[in-house]
Structure 1
Amino acid sequence: MPLINNVNQFNDRIKFEEEKTIVNEETGGKTKGWVEKFSCWCHVKTTTMKDIQAEIGTKYEDTTIFVVRHEMASNISMSDRIDFNGQKLEVVRINPDNAYKEFTVVYGKKK
């Protein structure tokens, strides 16, 4: 079964954030914070009961699966954070499509 049947399935917006040192221009003080790296359209993959049962007790339990275009995935790293509808998720897996270079699957988990 293909990941995406039609490009119209890319109907949700997702933001990828990275942790950076932010300099306060007025005081010169430095703090660490999350800043938006980029945003793109994605498809949120429906998880089947079979998948949910297989993930129980693993680090993939309670994950959300996002499908993004392959060319966007080169910008994603495991240290990034996902902002999806105001929910913050950590990137726990990046599964690129090295054969066809069409889509990449990104697993996000609530912190």
Structure 2
Amino acid sequence: MANDFNQKVNMVTIGYFLAESYWGKGIATKAVNVLVKFLFETVSVNRIQAEVMPLNENSKRVLLKNGFIKEGTIRQANVWAGKGIVDLEIYSILKEDYKSYS
């Protein structure tokens, strides 16, 4: 799930994919919860972020349920297979957010 670690600022970017037949069962929400706990409590990162396509409401809910905050939209930020150049919304949670959230 974690796909990029920036040691200079002690930050991890996460991403996740789940087969459609498993959507709506709470699996992604629980997996992100376990990963966030591990990254903050065991690895001791300071920031976890995720990038989401603006129309992906399910992924946004997963992040919001886990205490992430929407920071904004990065316009025409990435090339997505089958979608072309897309905007991305960025969500993050800081260690200090996690302490008050958990």
Same fold at TM > 0.5: no
> So what's the TM-score if we normalise by structure 1?
0.28
Higher alpha-carbon Rg: 1
TM norm structure 2:
0.30
